[in-house]
Structure 1
């Protein structure tokens, strides 16, 4: 690096970005690890291995993640195949509707499954009246069912994209050599799309390990890693963080191991997706078409039941925890907008500020990494990707460990909530920004500089306008995921700063499902309205980045 590099504003901006990432990403992680090893009293790791509950929680989490991953793969891969390879009545809706599950917050999904199949659920009561007793939805049954019908969408998206890119001429060549069609798909297409299936499945595994909302609501007495981590954080508070830090470290190690396996599998792949002529969908009619459409439609309908249930619940009269189904009222929504609007206001304020900061920071850092590389940018790139491997619970514990008192006391302020949002969702903007910058020729910016425009002004006037569609898409995606965030914010929030997900969680814990439904319906509207407006007015497909 020469002297001119040190005089460049980009170099100092890179150093500033590295400093911020070191402070707000690396520093909390270091605090988690140090607290687990050198906290007050016995080492957290010695307490971990000597406490059966913690060992059981780790094993249960691995079993749950494995079961959900297998079921999601069994559901997602066939659904992706029939969507990509066949045309049938209702296909357009079946192909699109699973994406809606991505914007239904998990706390709402858990709540609505309980409203349908809980001990006093609508379906449970109906079955009981005709002499059929359904198994308890708490524990393994509820956890596996609810998570599977949420996370299968990730396998579906990854697989349908891989099948769409597969060159059908390879399959036809195998058939021309006498291989039966079904066997040709297994021998030719499956090995090519297998890395995409495995990558999606491993994503489901890591998301299940870090899941908090569903685990906390439905696990009941079943120990799970995210639940016991939260319980340790509540029990220890901020005075002693040894055990919560140790459990958070275990979660990080599990995710790191899974990501390592993912990278190893992908690196060993001997097949590439050959982009060419995709297969023309085969029309399905008659009984066969009805069976395919019915099976696919049933999966999609079940996954969308939470959206229907929460809509009904928001307008249903309730007396305390007892829902009066069939009696309608607007009182629940009046509570959201008139009686207790603070959670809505807090969510809009915190998520709005976090989205702006996250997107602005991501756009600048992406530009530095792609267009102005130096000795520091690789470290910036790597550190900015770390939040992808962190669950919200781990991040919350890390922020509490790092910023409770000391030289930068943030605990008890709204700043720490916004900070949690920014760190968790920053990689979305980074991914979108870097993807579009790789496609922008350097000559465009160089031409502007050669005409006498300063480098920073050239970025603002030439590069940034080209990036705007990707930045806008990342902003919508960041907003939708930030406003529904629960696992980190529930650990770092203080009284009077409840957000919509936190308020819903507290109401569910109190059994007030009607009020929870009203807040949940407003939360879904807050998420979906920007998505619809971005698509209709600006043609932005928020799901294209997934």
Structure 2
């Protein structure tokens, strides 16, 4: 034990546990306990007595279930035809859905409105020929926009599972007289079911915690993330009871769904040995054209936000009225010349947060994997907690905990950076740990045997081997951090607006042209590092997901 106490890694793990306890565990526990405190009835009594809150929970569960089902019905067939068939345009159809992952949700909501809103481009075009679409606000817009964003997560998870599925199992079933369709249903589906359920769980939890699209498109429809934000804004941090209660409900929903998912998977677990995947079958003629058209239509719809934001950024506008067909650079001039502070803030806060997150993740991952001690299991568990928290819950927790008292961070840039680091830290932790498990201990032992101290060995020997994974995690952390809205909009103060917050405020004011310009710059800020990482450093950012 004395040797352990003398090790610098022991004290580093103790410091990491202290920081995680202070900035992750303590705010979360503060939210959970605050729902039972306060003057008058506790938060749960007020929740039950308020029809709007109960309606918000019900609507959120209905929305999350519907979006999960629709996204699965889109993502699984697209994954199947991409993995099993070759057809015209397959390479583009397989790649383009990934672009939706880097389009911030606030921009997606805005651009869907620009296309299908009450004065949208497509809405007006159809209205001119006598076709009237239902209002895009409410259920129609929420389900449509979220489904065509989140199906990508199902597609990515399932296409990998189908690609690795041993085709010999299907052939064996068919040799016994089973039809091809029935053999896939009886043999393939049970094996890839865990991947489908895991992807569906991700979609469900993301829908429950979604803030940007819910806030912009819900209109008068109460949703959990929206009423949580409204409670935080209306009541402020001086009375955190109701906002803490609503945040606790969100956490409990995610925990319940996670438990249900594990229970379902555990009841039917299938294991196969390594085999060969099925070779994609060429589709030609009418069948190939039909598959390519259907898959291409899905991808095109999901790319509408990117197309419309480019058009909107260069379109003249008079207040909220878009003058389609009239082009201008004035909107972009506002971003870079007239009001560049949101861009500067985003680059600064996201840059600092990415650096801190990756540095912390690299060192702590090393301690957890290579230098385990009494603290490292707790460090590992607590560092994964943010994966189960929505941005709204995290924002409420940080605002409630650090609004005053002995560590007042509210109103500073520090709390924004802190929210970024906590939300995205698990990316670096997961990448770092996965890489470290593949690094043999003999490398370190050889260095230490030559007289190099342990800490210096880490920086000279281990860290260079980890660099590819660290670089991939850094790019992924940057792209998701710079697009973060749900937590930062609760903790930011005047003059500290970021690009997503500025886009959100402009949409709320109806200034879609300016919002498009800021949004286009935001997409560029996200895509440029990905392109550079892919072209120069051969980093597959999406594999880090």
Q: TM-score range by the shorter chain?
A: over 0.9
**Partner of residue 326, structure 1:** 325
Q: Which moved more, 1:175-184 or 1:305-314?
A: 175-184
Distance 1:189 1:296 in 2: 21
Distance 2:253 2:39 in 1: 25
Q: 1:40: how far off?
A: 2.7
**Partner of residue 71, structure 1:** 70
**Partner of residue 246, structure 1:** 245
**Partner of residue 254, structure 2:** 255
Q: 1:126: how far off?
A: 1.3
1:232-278: per-residue Cα shift (whole Å, max 9, x none)? 00001121111111100000110111122223233334202543211
Q: 1:133: how far off?
A: 1.3
Distance 1:416 1:439 in 2: 36
1:386-405: per-residue Cα shift (whole Å, max 9, x none)? 00000000000000111011
Give the match's secondary structure for 1:38.
coil
Distance 1:228 1:344 in 2: 29
**Partner of residue 346, structure 2:** 347
**Partner of residue 217, structure 2:** 218
Distance 1:131 1:99 in 2: 35
1:335-484 equivalences in 2 (<5 Å): 335-484=334-483
Give the match's secondary structure for 1:114.
helix
Distance 1:536 1:385 in 2: 31
Distance 1:399 1:85, change over 3 A: same
Q: How many residues align?
A: 545
1:202-252: per-residue Cα shift (whole Å, max 9, x none)? 110000000000000000000000000000000011211111111000001
**Partner of residue 134, structure 2:** 135
Distance 2:269 2:405 in 1: 52
Give the match's secondary structure for 1:37.
coil
Distance 1:17 1:273 in 2: 39
Give the match's secondary structure for 1:312.
helix
1:47-62 equivalences in 2 (<5 Å): 47-62=46-61
**Partner of residue 187, structure 2:** 188
**Partner of residue 265, structure 2:** 266
Give the match's secondary structure for 2:322.
strand
1:55-86: per-residue Cα shift (whole Å, max 9, x none)? 00000000000000000110000000000000
Q: 1:35: how far off?
A: 1.4
Give the match's secondary structure for 1:24.
helix
Contact 1:365–1:430 (CA under 8 A) maintained in structure 2: yes
Is 2:281 aligned against 1:282? yes
Contact 1:195–1:269 (CA under 8 A) maintained in structure 2: no
Distance 2:365 2:264 in 1: 27
**Partner of residue 503, structure 2:** 504
**Partner of residue 163, structure 1:** 162
Give the match's secondary structure for 1:120.
coil
RMSD after superposition:
0.8
Contact 1:474–1:542 (CA under 8 A) maintained in structure 2: yes
Distance 1:253 1:377 in 2: 26
Q: 1:129: how far off?
A: 1.5
Distance 1:269 1:443 in 2: 40
Contact 1:168–1:278 (CA under 8 A) maintained in structure 2: yes
Distance 1:41 1:213 in 2: 32
Distance 2:86 2:355 in 1: 41
Distance 1:273 1:429, change over 3 A: farther
Distance 1:65 1:407, change over 3 A: same
TM value normalised by structure 1: 0.99
Q: 1:370: how far off?
A: 0.7
Give the match's secondary structure for 1:325.
strand
Distance 2:541 2:226 in 1: 31
Distance 1:238 1:484 in 2: 25
Give the match's secondary structure for 1:278.
coil
1:390-437: per-residue Cα shift (whole Å, max 9, x none)? 000000000011101100000000000000000000000011011111
Contact 1:166–1:274 (CA under 8 A) maintained in structure 2: no
Q: Which moved more, 1:221-230 or 1:36-45?
A: 36-45
TM value normalised by structure 2: 0.99
**Partner of residue 16, structure 2:** 17
1:289-313: per-residue Cα shift (whole Å, max 9, x none)? 0000000000000000100000000
Give the match's secondary structure for 1:317.
strand
Distance 1:351 1:43 in 2: 37
**Partner of residue 105, structure 2:** 106
Contact 1:165–1:273 (CA under 8 A) maintained in structure 2: no
Q: Which moved more, 1:245-254 or 1:173-182?
A: 173-182
**Partner of residue 116, structure 2:** 117
Distance 1:295 1:384, change over 3 A: same
Distance 2:84 2:29 in 1: 49
Distance 2:520 2:405 in 1: 40
1:472-522: per-residue Cα shift (whole Å, max 9, x none)? 000000000000000000000000000000000000000000000000000
Give the match's secondary structure for 1:205.
helix
Distance 2:120 2:464 in 1: 51
Is 2:85 aligned against 1:92? no
Distance 1:149 1:324 in 2: 27
Distance 1:536 1:327 in 2: 36
